[in-house]
């Protein structure tokens, strides 16, 4: 995967660096088991995230094992017992790995794991529920409706342009933009494999930005540009699909506000560890699109890029995630 990355001078995030140093100094974990693969539509991305995490953790001095998670949960549980991890590094993406399912199993087993817990993970993957919490926290969101396929075929649920999204998928899987001038109804000639209802959401024009949050600290702000119609799955993962400008070339007040909004969104869902908040800036306000509780973790993914800019290497980032891991049990 390649990106066009433009970097500029930015002060190191000394607070985040201090947390990383403290986590390394107090290091207790020795064995780490990485969960990767999974059965969602984001399996291939998860395999890459997991492989990168394994390499970084080995470089940091941990004894690392990997488990490719399948529907055979009994085997997954046996593999976890066999590897006897001090901490589980959750590199799964999408349904069953990011939505609270695997977190619930790890809670039952009493194993510490990286990223958010069961409740925050479940809410973040449920787009309507997450947006209600964002609104309650005073954050800007796009107007939306939850509608059935039949309602969509009967007529536009919102003024065009609008976006149709599965309720609980990640990485822009299944996302469609319905624009002015289109003659065909969405899904008129195709099935919808993402459940009986979808979210229709007002399209927010403007600049795409994303902010990684590590604990209580926003690492940086990245502006994302793409030649695609929007930042879709291919734009995110295909070579040359997008350009990341890091740090985002915006005025200091907007940069700081993007970081504040990301931290507030992280807190509103009850996230822990690392998350990434996607935003749109329409020239007047920052609109929260979603919070990713299991963002991509390859060396060229958005979060590691921002960590590097903040002065945190990828192995050190993974070390911090392991040493601050928790369990809801």
For this structure, is 171 an active site residue? Answer: yes
Q: How far is CA 81 from the centre of its chain?
A: 28
Pick the catalytic residue from 169, 278, 305, 323: 278
**Whole-number Å distance between alpha carbons of 117 and 325:** 10
Residue 326 annotated in active site: no
Catalytic residue among 3, 40, 41, 42: 42
Catalytic residue among 162, 231, 233, 237: 237
Given a contact cutoff of 8 angstroms between Cβ atoms, the answer to whether 106 and 327 are in contact is: yes
Can 276 be counted among the known catalytic residues?
yes
Rounded CA separation 3/129 (Å): 33
Sign of CA dihedral 22, 26, 30, 31: negative
Nearest to 317 by CA among 287, 259, 263, 274: 274
| Residue 223 annotated among the catalytic residues of the structure | no
Q: Is position 42 annotated as part of the catalytic site?
A: yes
Q: Find the helix packing angle between 118-125 and 127-136, rounded to 10°.
A: 100
Residue 19 bears catalytic tag: no
In angstroms, the CA 167 to CA 125 distance is: 8
* Catalytic choice (99, 144, 208, 290): 290
To the nearest 10 degrees (0 to 180), the angle between helices 118-125 and 101-109 is: 170
**Integer distance in angstroms from the first to the last C-alpha of the chain?**
38
Q: Which residues are catalytic, by number?
A: 42, 171, 237, 276, 278, 290, 292, 296
């Amino acid at each position: 995967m390649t990106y066009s990355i433009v970097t500029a001078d930015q002060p190191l995030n000394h607070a985040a660096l201090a947390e990383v140093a403290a986590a390394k100094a107090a290091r207790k974990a020795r064995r780490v088991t990485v969960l990767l693969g999974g059965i969602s539509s984001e399996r291939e991305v998860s395999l890459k995230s997991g492989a990168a995490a394994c390499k970084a953790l080995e470089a940091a001095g941990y004894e690392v094992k990997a488990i490719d998670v399948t529907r055979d949960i009994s085997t997954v549980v046996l593999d976890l017992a066999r590897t006897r991890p001090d901490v589980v590094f959750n590199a799964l993406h999408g349904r069953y790995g990011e939505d609270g399912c695997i977190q619930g199993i790890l809670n039952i087993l009493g194993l510490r794991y990286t990223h958010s817990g069961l409740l925050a993970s479940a809410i973040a993957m449920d787009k309507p529920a997450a947006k209600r919490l964002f609104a309650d926290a005073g954050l800007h969101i796009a107007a939306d409706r939850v509608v059935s396929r039949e309602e969509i075929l009967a007529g536009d649920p919102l003024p065009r342009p609008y976006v149709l999204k599965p309720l609980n998928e990640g990485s822009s899987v299944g996302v469609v933009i319905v624009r002015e001038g289109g003659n065909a109804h969405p899904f008129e000639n195709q099935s919808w494999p993402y459940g009986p209802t979808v979210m229709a959401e007002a399209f927010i024009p403007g600049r795409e930005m994303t902010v990684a949050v590590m604990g209580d600290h926003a690492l940086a702000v990245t502006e994302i540009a793409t030649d695609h119609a929007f930042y879709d799955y291919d734009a995110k993962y295909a070579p040359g699909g997008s350009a990341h400008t890091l740090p985002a070339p915006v005025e200091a007040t907007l940069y700081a506000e993007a970081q504040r909004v990301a931290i507030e969104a992280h807190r509103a869902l009850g996230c822990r560890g690392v998350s990434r908040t996607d935003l749109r800036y329409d020239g007047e306000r920052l609109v929260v699109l979603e919070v990713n509780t299991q963002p991509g973790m390859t060396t060229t993914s958005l979060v590691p890029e921002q960590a590097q800019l903040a002065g945190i290497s990828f192995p050190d980032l993974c070390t911090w995630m392991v040493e601050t891991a928790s369990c809801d049990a």
